[in-house]
Chains A and B, each alone.
Chain A
Amino acid sequence: MIDYQSLRFDYRRHADQDAAAPARHPVVIVGAGPVGLTLAIDLALRQVPVVLLDNDNTLSSGSRAICFAKRTLEVFDRLGCGDRMVDKGVSWNVGKVFFHDEQVYRFDLLPEPGHERPAFINLQQYYVEGYLVERAAALPLIDLRWNNKVTGIEQSDDGAVLTVETPEGEYRLQADYVAACDGSRSNTRQMLGLEAKGRVFRDRFLIADITMDADLPTERRFWFDPSFHPGQSVLLHKQADGMWRVDFQLGWDADPVEERKPENITPRVRALLDSIGFEGVQFRIGWASVYTFACQRMERFRHGRVLFAGDSAHGVSPFGARGANSGVQDADNLAWKLAAVVQGQAPDALLDSYASEREYAADENIRNSTRATDFITPKSEVSRLFRDAVLELTKRHAFARTLVNSGRLSVPSVLRDSPLNTPDADAFSGAMVPGAAAADAPVVHADGSTGWLLRECHVAQFTALVFGQGEAAERSLAELRASDRPLHVVRMEDGARGSELAARRYDARPGTVYLLRPDQHVCARWRAPSAAQVRGAVDRALGKH
């Protein structure tokens, strides 16, 4: 078994370092974390060569982002590495919230059947990065350079020149576009004199990985003011390899250095385990960290030829698992647009929609994250008064449970107001509005074999879902063909067992067509489209209107 935590990747000298003039590449990505790797793989699958620079030669140190959401798994599926993540990770849908030592609330994040992926898996970030690195290594178009630290950037109208420091000295690189995926303390952001602004929360939290042999269900457990850690919150969550994540709220006055010491972590974990009936269970403490956080974002995610994605662009509190998940969705949103632009299929302006769509999503994530944080760590007397009132009422009144906020967990943003959407001309009901990420559903093929709707979508192209069969469906198919746009057509025939769920989720009738962008967001839908409407919608989604 590979120990991903201790993996070291070799620095290799590249011919670019000996070039007389800086070599030019269509896309250079700064930072090989989950976001940069996702973006690189996605671009390579679209036949765009990528240079991916990382400032060190290791994967994530510590488990860090452990909760990977359904939507992220669907993106990883599209990139060809979702199965490994899900096989290794711990799948979960249920969360329980305790006040004092009593359960007051239980939520199921995926209460309906008919989805390939669970609401979440928990998997240590080093596994996610490791699997992405291995996926990237199988793609010759990705040139991943370890120990390549960007120390300078100069922008012009048609690109940027990067100065890169290596163990063998500096060299320069030209890029048509630069994606800055270099984390919350983004060097690229600082070098361009840009800031992420927002709210810093004055509280400290201890997170630790503990390894133990305990038979607990794989659910998220969150305590407000438990007897074993009075006045604060605690989170317990299972990861892969019999590892558990504990998260103790400590308050602002806690000493981050002292609290990280194993002799101070041990009694806290012991008290937690004793209180849930694991008095005899032994545990080992692994990685631990004391963190603070801010909810913040850059004002704009695009600055000329530089695009910011992930933590470099926005930051949230960890409650809600909206950090890495939103970063992967940034990459998902950016990759197809960047590919379309560098391959001359779309104008440069399409990249403006990356910024506007993901700024909107960041606001949504920050809003949810801030609300959860205000509930978990009330920062004024009156805020604590109402928080405690809610928790007290949960013991007697069902309504109060809906107010309990231990983190509203990551779901993809509905890009309702995106300029890439074609507004509905026909009446539809349900959740699959233009801008929504396409919902999964089981599919049954004509030959009786089964699959999943999202797996049928094209890795790189626009997909058209055509529902039903018979005359209406044939008419829609003919119009799609006549539209003269490269579309991957997926038939969703009714009648076959299992397919009615898809029809219901999409409020489909025979002939209904959904146009999905390459990132699987709905951008248009019709009951009976014309070729001209389809053409218009594809062109609009490519920023050509």
Chain B
Amino acid sequence: MTASTPKLITDPHLEAPDDFYEALIDAHQGLSTQESNAYNARLVLVLANHIGSLAVLREALAAAK
């Protein structure tokens, strides 16, 4: 793999892990399970678009299994 090949980051990378986690849980406040599921689906899509690279997304799909 060459240096320019995008690769999924699985080392710690979050700027502020606890703040993110709190924000994530907060975002689901007041949602029913069904609404939470829909929200999560939208969130996955938004994040996927940000990543863009199919190779990285495939790695992410595998990494989350």
Residue B31 CB within 8 A of the other chain:
no
Residue B49 CB within 8 A of the other chain:
yes
- Once the chains bind, are A393 and B38 in contact (CB under 8 Å)? no
- Once the chains bind, are A390 and B45 in contact (CB under 8 Å)? yes
Q: Which of A406-430 contact B (CB under 8 A)?
A: none
Q: Which residues of B contact A400 (CB under 8 A)?
A: 45, 49
Residue A219 CB within 8 A of the other chain:
no
Query: Which residue from chain B places its CB closest to the CB of A392 in the assembled complex?
Result: B42
Among B37, B41, B44, B49, contact of A399 (Cβ-Cβ < 8 Å): B49
Q: Chain A CB within 10 Å — which of B37, B45, B46 has the most?
A: B45
Residue A389 CB within 8 A of the other chain:
yes
- Once the chains bind, are B37 and A386 in contact (CB under 8 Å)? no
- Give the size of the chain A interface in residues (CB under 8 angstroms): 11
Q: Which residues of B contact A348 (CB under 8 A)?
A: none
The distance in angstroms between the C-alpha atoms of A414 and B22, with both chains bound, is 49
A528: min CB distance to chain B, Å: 33
The distance in angstroms between the C-alpha atoms of A252 and B43, with both chains bound, is 31
- Once the chains bind, are A385 and B41 in contact (CB under 8 Å)? yes
Q: Which of B6-36 contact A (CB under 8 A)?
A: none
Question: Scoring A residues 372 to 393 as 1 if CB is less than 8 Å from chain B, else 0, what string do you get?
Answer: 0000000000000110111011
- Once the chains bind, are A397 and B38 in contact (CB under 8 Å)? no
- Once the chains bind, are B45 and A403 in contact (CB under 8 Å)? yes
The distance in angstroms between the C-alpha atoms of A393 and B50, with both chains bound, is 14
Q: Which residues of B contact A389 (CB under 8 A)?
A: 38, 41-42, 44-45
The distance in angstroms between the C-alpha atoms of A390 and B48, with both chains bound, is 12
A198: min CB distance to chain B, Å: 25
- Once the chains bind, are B38 and A385 in contact (CB under 8 Å)? yes
A400: min CB distance to chain B, Å: 7
Question: Scoring B residues 36 to 65 as 1 if CB is less than 8 Å from chain A, else 0, what string do you get?
Answer: 011001101110010000000000000000
A397: min CB distance to chain B, Å: 7
Among B41, B44, B46, contact of A397 (Cβ-Cβ < 8 Å): B46
A115: min CB distance to chain B, Å: 30
Contact-residue bracket for chain B = under 10
Q: Which residues of A contact B49 (CB under 8 A)?
A: 397, 399-400
Question: Scoring A residues 214 to 254 as 1 if CB is less than 8 Å from chain B, else 0, what string do you get?
Answer: 00000000000000000000000000000000000000000
The distance in angstroms between the C-alpha atoms of A294 and B46, with both chains bound, is 32
The distance in angstroms between the C-alpha atoms of A389 and B40, with both chains bound, is 9
The distance in angstroms between the C-alpha atoms of A474 and B42, with both chains bound, is 60
The distance in angstroms between the C-alpha atoms of A400 and B45, with both chains bound, is 8
- Once the chains bind, are A386 and B46 in contact (CB under 8 Å)? no
Q: Which residues of A contact B38 (CB under 8 A)?
A: 385, 388-389, 392
The distance in angstroms between the C-alpha atoms of A386 and B44, with both chains bound, is 9
Query: Which residue from chain B places its CB closest to the CB of A386 in the assembled complex?
Result: B41
B5: min CB distance to chain A, Å: 22
- Once the chains bind, are A393 and B37 in contact (CB under 8 Å)? no
The distance in angstroms between the C-alpha atoms of A389 and B38, with both chains bound, is 6
Q: Which residues of B contact A399 (CB under 8 A)?
A: 49
B39: min CB distance to chain A, Å: 8
Q: Which residues of B contact A388 (CB under 8 A)?
A: 38, 41
The distance in angstroms between the C-alpha atoms of A399 and B49, with both chains bound, is 7
Q: Which of A85-106 contact B (CB under 8 A)?
A: none
Q: Chain B CB within 10 Å — which of A386, A388, A390, A403 has the most?
A: A386
Q: Which residues of B contact A392 (CB under 8 A)?
A: 38, 42
B51: min CB distance to chain A, Å: 11
A452: min CB distance to chain B, Å: 37
Query: Which residue from chain A places its CB closest to the CB of B43 in the assembled complex?
Result: A389
Q: Which residues of A contact B37 (CB under 8 A)?
A: 385
The distance in angstroms between the C-alpha atoms of A520 and B46, with both chains bound, is 42
The distance in angstroms between the C-alpha atoms of A127 and B12, with both chains bound, is 64
A27: min CB distance to chain B, Å: 44
Query: Which residue from chain B places its CB closest to the CB of A403 in the assembled complex?
Result: B45
Q: Which residues of B contact A390 (CB under 8 A)?
A: 45
Q: Which residues of B contact A386 (CB under 8 A)?
A: 41, 44-45
A223: min CB distance to chain B, Å: 20
The distance in angstroms between the C-alpha atoms of A389 and B46, with both chains bound, is 10
The distance in angstroms between the C-alpha atoms of A389 and B42, with both chains bound, is 5
Q: Which residues of A contact B44 (CB under 8 A)?
A: 386, 389
Q: Which residues of B contact A393 (CB under 8 A)?
A: 42, 45-46
B34: min CB distance to chain A, Å: 9
Query: Which residue from chain A places its CB closest to the CB of B49 in the assembled complex?
Result: A399
B38: min CB distance to chain A, Å: 6
Q: Which residues of A contact B45 (CB under 8 A)?
A: 386, 389-390, 393, 400, 403
B23: min CB distance to chain A, Å: 19
The distance in angstroms between the C-alpha atoms of A392 and B46, with both chains bound, is 12
B11: min CB distance to chain A, Å: 27
A-B residue pairs, 6 tightest by C-beta: A389-B41, A399-B49, A389-B42, A385-B41, A386-B41, A393-B42
- Could you write out 25 A-B pairs with CB less than 8 Å apart? A385-B37, A385-B38, A385-B41, A386-B41, A386-B44, A386-B45, A388-B38, A388-B41, A389-B38, A389-B41, A389-B42, A389-B44, A389-B45, A390-B45, A392-B38, A392-B42, A393-B42, A393-B45, A393-B46, A397-B46, A397-B49, A399-B49, A400-B45, A400-B49, A403-B45
Extra contacts besides A388-B38, A389-B44 (17): CB < 8 Å: A385-B37, A385-B38, A385-B41, A386-B41, A386-B45, A388-B41, A389-B41, A389-B42, A389-B45, A390-B45, A392-B38, A392-B42, A393-B45, A397-B49, A399-B49, A400-B45, A400-B49
Taking beta carbons and an 8 Å cutoff, which residues of B are in contact with A? 37-38, 41-42, 44-46, 49
